[in-house]
Structure 1
Amino acid sequence: MVPIPSMLDQHAEEACFLILLHHYAVRGPHYNLDDLGKLDERIDAHLDGLRIAGSSGLELLLAQLGPHTVGEMFASVVLAVEGNNAQALSQLSEHLRRAAQTEQGYLMALGWLDWQRVAPWIERLLASSEPLFRRLGLAACGMHRQDPGPSLLTELSRADPNVLARAARTAGELRRRDLMLALGAHRLHTDPATRFWANWATAQMGDEQALEPLRPFAEQPGEFQYPALCVVLAWQPREHSIPWIRLMTQHTEQRRSGIQAIGLLGDPANVPWLIQQMSDLPYARVAGEAFSLISGADLALLNLELQDLPDFDAGPNDDPEDANIDMDPDENLPWPDPRRIAAWWQAHGGHFQAGIAYTLGLRQSESSFRQILAQGQQRQRIAAACGIARFRPDEVLFPTSAPAWRQKRLLGDAERHS
């Protein structure tokens, strides 16, 4: 039975909206792996509605493509690849050339699809004469943790910074130690993305010289701030981290990063200071998150949240004259109650030893990081993946942004082989 047009429109609208939500959720502080799984199931259910419609579903999506239609690009690529529709894929490639902002949708589709299904198309992307499509092919290999082979070294010698950055990221995700020299050549690259990913990659292969160039990224707001912070705190010697974090907490523009760094460091000796920060509205929620990251205390479950929420808006707002357009990174974090948390810590803090690193109440170790990968929230899981990388230097990085079913399969495989 072919869905009626109104149902088809609804499936398209929901699939396109939910994949954008998924893009945020994989970096969100309030989603765990089960939450991602439920979201993925909803996306796939609406994709099924479009699949059942046959060519009508894909035609509807193609007709809706525009300069900013990221979700429509995602769903179109999924259906076109699944249907082996070369004509539609050619049309999508042409649209991508004209509408660069839809690239994220194309990437999400390549990461969503099963490797066996998408691999032939990725081979074509890697062999393309156009940097745009080679970059997409490299990204897909990184997302699937599939090695593209010699092409990585080739792309690391290109002049295009966009290709360079993606090649460096994929090399890091795959832990390609044979490429450390090539990556190191871009340690001080003038392009910020290339510089970040080159150092991010080699740092997770034990390159201590890469930590210094990563610190400025970790100190300032931006897309690289949290991943830089996780890598630096996972690999930097503790005696270097403590004074660095102290400096960050002393500067207003770096204090939020410093608070997150304290959570990642995991030393319970810093908990009293974190509780003090919970009375300072701009930093209260991230301080609560850092406290939970160390202690494992769920603020909502333990009734450690404020009952009366403060009147605080970090932006953006509806005022067209307001220059603050950044989304509040802590929007979905609970508001901690400093008084209740202080009482909880008074009762439970004795179970923790100062100078020892904890994550979610567990001493940091490979087994505790794996437990966090299975049960933690996404920000916690991202940090845990960086932690595991130290214990497993020759394994690819765990893909915390992959579809939930794929992540659960990888976790199951790791448990069976442990």
Structure 2
Amino acid sequence: MMLAATDKPKSEGAPERPIVPDVVRQYAEQVAFFWAQRDTLMMDDPPDRHVVAGVDRRLEANLDGLRIAGPAAWPFITAAYEDFPEKGELFLYGWMAIELNDDRRVADAVEFGLQSKDDARGLVGALAWHLPGTIAPLVRDWIGAPDAFKRFLGVSACLGHSVDPKQMLGRLVRDPDTRVRATSVRLAGTLKRADLVNELTAALTDDDEFARFWAAWALNELGSGDLASPELRKVAVSGGSSAMTALRAAITAAPDKDVRAWMGTLLRSPETAPLAVRGAGMLGDRTVLHWLIHQMRNPALAVAAGGALLELFPEAKGADLFTLNPAELGHAFEDHFGDFGARVPVAEKVKDWGGKEMDVVPLDVRTR
């Protein structure tokens, strides 16, 4: 469903405010750009909250511009979505529809979200950006709706604001729609709904991989790591989009000795060794620094070692320890990365930065 840039819903009865078209167009484009950038940054594990906060400030400044423009901004918003119907533009459209309490535009946004290929990330983001009280009427209508996509939006909005739908969540974790189930079990874990532990345990055998994973994650949040650990480890080694989240949860799901033994096993395989190196940063043990420096000299492990470094030592972010041109580190790095501009730590710089007081000890034999 596409709208012409000049289309106006009948509900817009108020006269439009005088605007400077080029300025409002820029506001709309910047909102779409900054939110998409923010969403991508938040996918990092862990995200750089300082950088995200800077993007948020610029995003909110442009949203203020659209608030002032009001309905007069719609031609630019619809044009932006038609030209580039991606997550940032869906956020822009959905946010403005909710901001103006425009039922027709909200319905359009839902339709656009249904057509999207990324679980309507932009529309879910718009719901999360607005205050809970603003979206409450929509969520109440959607969360129990016959339409599965609207139920998904409703429970996603609850997740975005950590709002408990109370007894309805017991039904949602058993919903016939896979996306609704997966989001609902994740919400149960976020809210630490211990009363739903039986439903979460049952979800470990769900036909949907995401429902199984989030059920395991939720059980771990509730202190049932023994039940959750096998699924979490399975997802961690799968290399999928949930791998890093699963790894982080798996590290807390079992006793430290068992986790280190598992990670030692991962180190023995070239396919899973980067996962173990990255996991070293999640253990919270800063004494692995020189061991990480050793891994940075291996092109296949360097990126993972850099991620572990930044997690253990956030202060390293501003220390000029990385390069975007791996080829400058030698032929092995050039052959491994090719023209791909990976952000790779420079082992010698990290060594100078970190000092020489720590011994290099293999991860699989370390004990606390």
Do both share a fold (TM > 0.5)?
yes
Query: Match for residue 226 of structure 1?
Result: 244
Query: Match for residue 22 of structure 1?
Result: 38
SS state of the match for residue 146, structure 1? coil
Query: Match for residue 265 of structure 1?
Result: 283
Query: Match for residue 152 of structure 1?
Result: 169
- In the alignment, the residues of structure 2 paired with residue 201 and residue 137 of structure 1 have an alpha-carbon distance, to the nearest angstrom, of 19
- In the alignment, the residues of structure 2 paired with residue 209 and residue 296 of structure 1 have an alpha-carbon distance, to the nearest angstrom, of 32
Residues 288-337 of structure 1 show CA distances to partners (whole Å, capped at 9, x for unaligned) of 33234335551642x545698535487797xxxxxxxxxx8x94x4x333
Q: Do structure 1's residue 139 and structure 2's residue 156 form an aligned pair?
A: yes
Query: Match for residue 114 of structure 1?
Result: 131
Q: Do structure 1's residue 61 and structure 2's residue 60 form an aligned pair?
A: no
SS state of the match for residue 239, structure 2? coil
Query: Match for residue 194 of structure 1?
Result: 211
Query: Match for residue 212 of structure 1?
Result: 230
Fraction of identical pairs, as percent: 25
Relative contact order higher in (CA < 8 Å, ≥ 6 apart): 1
Q: What is the Cα-based RMSD across aligned positions, in Å?
A: 2.8
Counterparts of 1:7-406 in structure 2 under 5 Å?
Answer: 7-28=23-44, 32-66=48-82, 68-101=85-118, 103-207=120-224, 208-268=226-286, 270-295=288-313, 298=316, 300-301=318-319, 304-305=321-322, 309-310=326-327, 312=334, 331=342, 333=343, 335-349=344-358, 355-356=367-368
Q: 1:305 to 1:97 in 2, by over 3 A?
A: closer
Using the TM superposition, give the Cα deviation of residue 268 of structure 1 relative to its aligned residue in structure 2, in angstroms: 4.6
Using the TM superposition, give the Cα deviation of residue 126 of structure 1 relative to its aligned residue in structure 2, in angstroms: 0.7
- In the alignment, the residues of structure 2 paired with residue 93 and residue 313 of structure 1 have an alpha-carbon distance, to the nearest angstrom, of 46
- In the alignment, the residues of structure 2 paired with residue 116 and residue 308 of structure 1 have an alpha-carbon distance, to the nearest angstrom, of 48
Using the TM superposition, give the Cα deviation of residue 287 of structure 1 relative to its aligned residue in structure 2, in angstroms: 0.9
Query: Match for residue 10 of structure 2?
Result: none
Q: 1:86 to 1:264 in 2, by over 3 A?
A: same
Structure 1's unaligned 5+ residue stretches are 318-327, 357-418
Using the TM superposition, give the Cα deviation of residue 94 of structure 1 relative to its aligned residue in structure 2, in angstroms: 2.9
Residues 147-196 of structure 1 show CA distances to partners (whole Å, capped at 9, x for unaligned) of 01111111122222121111111111111111110011111222111111
Q: 1:125 to 1:96 in 2, by over 3 A?
A: same
SS state of the match for residue 305, structure 2? helix
- In the alignment, the residues of structure 1 paired with residue 204 and residue 130 of structure 2 have an alpha-carbon distance, to the nearest angstrom, of 33
Using the TM superposition, give the Cα deviation of residue 123 of structure 1 relative to its aligned residue in structure 2, in angstroms: 1.0
Using the TM superposition, give the Cα deviation of residue 260 of structure 1 relative to its aligned residue in structure 2, in angstroms: 1.1
Using the TM superposition, give the Cα deviation of residue 344 of structure 1 relative to its aligned residue in structure 2, in angstroms: 4.8
- In the alignment, the residues of structure 1 paired with residue 335 and residue 145 of structure 2 have an alpha-carbon distance, to the nearest angstrom, of 47
Residue identity matched to 1:178: D
SS state of the match for residue 222, structure 2? coil
Q: 1:314 to 1:163 in 2, by over 3 A?
A: farther
Q: 1:314 to 1:112 in 2, by over 3 A?
A: farther
Q: 1:131 to 1:102 in 2, by over 3 A?
A: closer
Using the TM superposition, give the Cα deviation of residue 249 of structure 1 relative to its aligned residue in structure 2, in angstroms: 1.3
Residue identity matched to 1:246: G
Using the TM superposition, give the Cα deviation of residue 340 of structure 1 relative to its aligned residue in structure 2, in angstroms: 4.2
- In the alignment, the residues of structure 1 paired with residue 113 and residue 314 of structure 2 have an alpha-carbon distance, to the nearest angstrom, of 44
Residue identity matched to 2:55: L
- In the alignment, the residues of structure 1 paired with residue 60 and residue 321 of structure 2 have an alpha-carbon distance, to the nearest angstrom, of 36
- In the alignment, the residues of structure 1 paired with residue 49 and residue 210 of structure 2 have an alpha-carbon distance, to the nearest angstrom, of 28
Instruction: Give TM-score, length-normalised by structure 2.
Output: 0.83
Contact 2:287–2:358 under 8 Å retained in 1: no
SS state of the match for residue 107, structure 2? helix
Residue identity matched to 1:143: G
Using the TM superposition, give the Cα deviation of residue 4 of structure 1 relative to its aligned residue in structure 2, in angstroms: 2.2
Using the TM superposition, give the Cα deviation of residue 62 of structure 1 relative to its aligned residue in structure 2, in angstroms: 2.9
Residue identity matched to 2:346: D
Using the TM superposition, give the Cα deviation of residue 24 of structure 1 relative to its aligned residue in structure 2, in angstroms: 1.0
Using the TM superposition, give the Cα deviation of residue 348 of structure 1 relative to its aligned residue in structure 2, in angstroms: 4.7
Contact 1:50–1:58 under 8 Å retained in 2: no
Contact 1:161–1:191 under 8 Å retained in 2: yes
Structure 2's unaligned 5+ residue stretches are 1-16, 329-333, 360-365
Residue identity matched to 1:219: V
Residues 359-398 of structure 1 show CA distances to partners (whole Å, capped at 9, x for unaligned) of xxxxxxxxxxxxxxxxxxxxxxxxxxxxxxxxxxxxxxxx
SS state of the match for residue 253, structure 1? coil
